[in-house]
Amino acid sequence: MSALADFLAGPWEHVFMRRAFLVAAMCGIVCGVIGCHVVLRGMAFIGDAVAHSAFPGVAVAFVFHWNLTLGGAVAGLLTALLVAVFAQNRRLKEDSVIGVFFAAAFGLGIVILSTAPGYSGSLESFLFGQILGISDADVLTVALTGAGLLLLVLLPPARAC
């Protein structure tokens, strides 16, 4: 094979590259479908807020040696619920509520992690992750979660009586 063919085909010989590509493709499909619904509802900022507000959950889970994914999911869900509750107040605009929770949660995560005993790493590993470090179990989790979300989108909307 030529040098160009080796350059292009070489990475695909590694299992971690194939897993990373598979998860990236699955996430792209699911996020594209779900993202359309979020934008059409006028809640584009909520996705950013929930993603960043998962950070304190990851930090707490790290400190207590719990599951990082579960910690982030719980914190993200809690933030989404709090935004929904506070946005019910007609005097507060939803974007304002989202912005406050977004900044407060992210700041809380930085405080928790920076004061964690024995943590000397950088925040980038928690914020951005490492797609090349995905395990087979992670691929399965992404596939099942993504399929579940896509099935929910396909359900017909509930009709009012």
According to the model, what pLDDT value does residue 53 have? Answer: 86
Whether 103 is covered by a domain: the verdict is yes
Could you tell me the two tokens for 19?
């897993």
Share of the chain above pLDDT 70, in %: 92
Whether 109 is covered by a domain: the verdict is yes
Whether 140 is covered by a domain: the verdict is no
According to the model, what pLDDT value does residue 120 have? Answer: 67
According to the model, what pLDDT value does residue 110 have? Answer: 85
Residue 33 corresponds to which amino acid?
Answer: V
Rounded Cα–Cα distance for residues 39 and 23 (Å): 23
Identify the H or E element spanning 8.
helix 3-9
pLDDT digit string, tens, across residues 40-74: 877 777 778 888 888 899 889 888 888 888 998 89
Q: Model-level pTM greater than 0.75? A: no
Whether 153 is covered by a domain: the verdict is no
Could you tell me the two tokens for 15?
């299992």
Taking CA 72 as the corner, what is the angle to CA 69 and CA 73, rounded to the nearest 5 degrees? 85
Whether 89 is covered by a domain: the verdict is yes
Rounded Cα–Cα distance for residues 79 and 85 (Å): 10
Q: Which domain holds residue 74?
A: 44-129
Number of domains in the chain: 1
Whether 150 is covered by a domain: the verdict is no
pLDDT digit string, tens, across residues 92-133: 777 788 888 888 988 898 888 888 777 666 666 667 778 888
Whether 156 is covered by a domain: the verdict is no
According to the model, what pLDDT value does residue 36 have? Answer: 86
Whether 10 is covered by a domain: the verdict is no
According to the model, what pLDDT value does residue 145 have? Answer: 94
What is the SS3 assignment for 130?
A: coil
